[in-house]
Amino acid sequence: MKPTYRKWLRWLTVAALIAGVSSTFSYGSGAHLIVRYLDPPVGRWWNEHEFALMIFAAAALGMLIAVRIGARLLDDTAARARAAVVSMIAGAVVLIPIARLGAALGQLGWTGANSFDTYAMNSIVDKLLIAGVYFLKVFFFGLIAGLAIFAVVAMAVALATPAPSEARQ
């Protein structure tokens, strides 16, 4: 029987992936116009929030995959479960600052200039490519931050868990 944290981790990862891909596609292609045509209030809300949803989903996806990677590196099943759960909670607590910092870092282009300066003048393929690369930049920053969070939590769990020889005495 799989531990319940794995189910939560799987569902949260799938939800972040779906939210990230759909919002990135919508942001890059301007698909919010279709939603605005079908339901104007929902389309307006989507248009106002699709960029934020894209960066938060990218950061959350990176941190969730980092927890999955980190959990595979631990030998002890009980420590793995505790570290994964605490890391998911810690990741949720720091999601907003990590996403904002990742968004700021994601705007840096190859030359250090703002990559969104000419965004409105590009074709739809260029916009999709820019949005996709931006999503990946925030994702990888979230992955690095998530690995750091998991490492700190795993060390804390290891220090708090008594060694098997100490538990017998």
User: pLDDT at position 97, please?
Assistant: 95
Q: Which amino acid is at 161?
A: T
**Full-prediction pTM beyond 0.85?**
no
Q: Dump pLDDT digits (tens) for 112-142.
A: 455 555 555 667 788 888 888 889 999 999 9
Give the pLDDT confidence of 57-105 residue by residue, as tens digits.
999 999 999 999 999 988 888 888 899 999 999 999 999 999 999 999 8
How many angstroms separate the CA atoms of 157 and 149, rounded? 12
Predicted confidence (pLDDT) per residue in 147-156, tens digit: 999 999 999 9
Give CA–CA dist 165/146, Å, rounded.
32
Domain ranges for the chain, please list them: 4-160
For the chain, give the secondary structure using H, E and C.
CCCHHHHHHHHHHHHHHHHHHHHHHHHHHCCHHHHHHHCHHHHHHHHHHHHHHHHHHHHHHHHHHHHHHHHHHCCCHHHHHHHHHHHHHHHHHCHHHHHHHHHHHHCECCCCCECCCCHHHCCHHHHHHHHHHHHHHHHHHHHHHHHHHHHHHHHHHHHHCCCHHHHHC
Alpha-carbon distance of 9 to 147, in angstroms, equals: 15
